[in-house]
Amino acid sequence: MLAEPRIPFNRSSIEGKELEYIAQTVAHGQIAGNQGYSLRCQQLLKSTLGVAEALATTSCTHALEMAALLIGIKPGDEVIIPTFTFVSTANAFALRGAQPVFCDIRPDTLNMDEEAVSALITDRTKAIVPVHYAGVGCEMDSILETANRRGIAIVEDNAHGLFGKYKGKWLGTFGGLATQSFHETKNITCGEGGALLINDQAYVERAEVLREKGTNRSRFFRGQVDKYTWVDLGSSYVMSDVLAAFLFGQLEVWEEVQEKRRRIWHRYAQGLTDWSHAQGVRLPHVPEHCDQAYHMFYLLLPDGSSRDRFIAFLKQRGIYSVFHYIPLHSSPMGSQLGVAPLGCPVATDISERLVRLPFYNQLTQEDQDFVIEKVQCFQTRC
């Protein structure tokens, strides 16, 4: 056994002036949130994406919790969520008493199946939560049409999709609300962090209140009220300016980060095409009308046993690959709180066969070639 993995699955990195900016905010003597670098991060997201407002938060999970509060989720409501996603997508709504209605995924993009979405709508459906898996856009034309016809809210969980586009429009700008993650496993990071993107102006004022423990503190600091007080529900969802300083150092070079990831993604795709054809392995599918965000590179092995052998094979060679997600409808909490009226056979199958290769901004060509070379030695049939 090797003591250290030669190539980890993920590794965070310095992309620009993160440390300089942290030193500046600390020297300035004010490190709480909603000032300085936090405002600069928000402004950058707002002007780049063209959203009505962007609020930096402690995590994507918390931004999702804010979204559930903002759209007034209450016990008995139903929320349509892909089963193939991270737990936070469902938890945020379940915390408010909603029943997750789990939707299967498309076998090509692994995004929520838009036809299943329309079949799962009931009179109690309050929201649809598309997750742009791997940063490839869901079929938003169809999902928007379904939602708009019934007056149902859309909250995009865009944790994977920052700076990706669907039919030329930024991911995160389709729903009334969208959420971003800056967790260390995401393209752009500050360790732990997130953002709530607001496309519908009507949510802005209340979102500021929810984020500030249910107080009108933001209005107070803008001089719009002469004292601040408790006016609504809320929690502590503001990102510290120390983290925002780190985040701004990455966000201001987002195009360079995305270019690095674009190269890594295509190098994998080119290096593994022949091997994948010979071995019955499927590479990621990106439709023509989607500009992906280059969040991950996954492989679909022919079956669960070859996938498990693959992970062990790479690990023996010092390369860490991982799988995800246990479909939420089959998890202990998801099966207790949620329902999957149409079943989710595609997600169940994909979940057993998917593996993600090492993918991080500073993955060197040399290391990536080593990964590709070892993958090419793997035989799916033993």
Ligand X SMILES: *Cc1c(COP(=O)(O)O)cnc(C)c1O
Residues that bind ligand X (CB under 6 A): 59-61, 85-86, 88-89, 131, 157, 159-160, 181, 183, 194
Find out whether 66 and 276 touch, Cβ atoms under 8 Å.
Answer: no
Q: For residue 212, which amino acid is it?
A: E
- Smallest distance, Å, CB 189 to ligand X? 9
**Which residue's CB is nearer to ligand X, number 275 or number 298?**
298
What are the CA-CA distances from residue 188 to residues 4, 63, 195, 243 (Å)? 25, 16, 12, 12
**Which residue's CB is nearer to ligand X, number 147 or number 195?**
195
**Which residue's CB is nearer to ligand X, number 13 or number 24?**
13
166 token code pair: 């669907």
- CA 282/CA 270 separation, integer angstroms: 13
Question: What is the DSSP annotation of 116-173?
Answer: HHHHH--TTEEEE--B-GGG----HHHHHHHHHHHT-EEEEE-TTTTT-EETTEETTS
Coil vs helix vs strand at 2: coil
* Among 177, 156, 173, 146, residue whose Cα is nearest residue 82: 156
- Smallest distance, Å, CB 314 to ligand X? 22
- Smallest distance, Å, CB 296 to ligand X? 9
**Which residue's CB is nearer to ligand X, number 330 or number 376?**
330
- Smallest distance, Å, CB 85 to ligand X? 5
Per the listing, tokens 């033993």 go with: 382
- Smallest distance, Å, CB 59 to ligand X? 3
- CA 203/CA 71 separation, integer angstroms: 9
- Smallest distance, Å, CB 190 to ligand X? 10
Question: What is the DSSP annotation of 188-206?
Answer: S-SBS-EEEEE-SGGGHHH
**Which residue's CB is nearer to ligand X, number 10 or number 279?**
10
- Smallest distance, Å, CB 160 to ligand X? 6
- CA 39/CA 251 separation, integer angstroms: 12
The β-bridge relationship of strands 153-157 and 298-300 is unpaired
**Which residue's CB is nearer to ligand X, number 160 or number 353?**
160
**Which residue's CB is nearer to ligand X, number 82 or number 276?**
82
Backbone angles phi, psi at 279, to 5 degrees: -105, 5
**Which residue's CB is nearer to ligand X, number 64 or number 120?**
64
Helix axes 60-70, 87-94, angle to 10 degrees: 40
- Smallest distance, Å, CB 239 to ligand X? 11
- Could you count the other beta carbons within 10 Å of the beta carbon of residue 231? 15
* Among 11, 2, 5, residue whose Cα is nearest residue 364: 11
- Smallest distance, Å, CB 325 to ligand X? 9
**Which residue's CB is nearer to ligand X, number 88 or number 361?**
88
Find out whether 51 and 199 touch, Cβ atoms under 8 Å.
Answer: yes
- Smallest distance, Å, CB 157 to ligand X? 5
